[in-house]
Amino acid sequence: MEGAVIGVVHDRFIYIIGGRSKSGPVNNVQVYDTERNIWSQATPMPGTPVFGHAGGIADETIVYVDGAKKDPASGQYVNSDECWMGKIDRKDPNTITWSKLPAHPGPGRFGIVAGGSEHEHRILFSGGTVAPHNLKGLGDDGKAPDLSPVTFSFELHGNHWETVTEDTSDVRADERGIAFTPLGPLIVGGTLKNSAVSGRVLVLPKK
Domain limits for position 61:
5-203
pLDDT at 1: 61
Q: What is the DSSP string of 131-195?
A: S---TTS--TTSSPPPBP--EEEEETTTTEEEEEESS-TT--BS----EEETTEEEEES-B-GGG
Other beta carbons less than 10 A from residue 190's beta carbon:
24
Query: Which H or E run contains 69?
Result: strand 68-70
Q: What is the pTM of this model?
A: 0.94
> What pLDDT digit, counting tens, does each position of 108-150 carry?
999 999 999 999 999 999 999 999 988 778 887 888 899 999 9
Low-confidence residues in the chain, pLDDT < 70:
1, 207
Q: What is the CATH number of the domain that holds 45?
A: 2.120.10.80
As for how many domains the chain has, the answer is 1
Q: Residue 128 in 3-state DSSP?
A: coil
* Nearest Cα residue to 66 out of 41, 42, 45: 45
Q: Residue 9 in 3-state DSSP?
A: strand
Do 135 and 197 form a contact (C-beta atoms < 8 A)?
A: no
Distance of CA 111 to the CA centre of its chain: 7
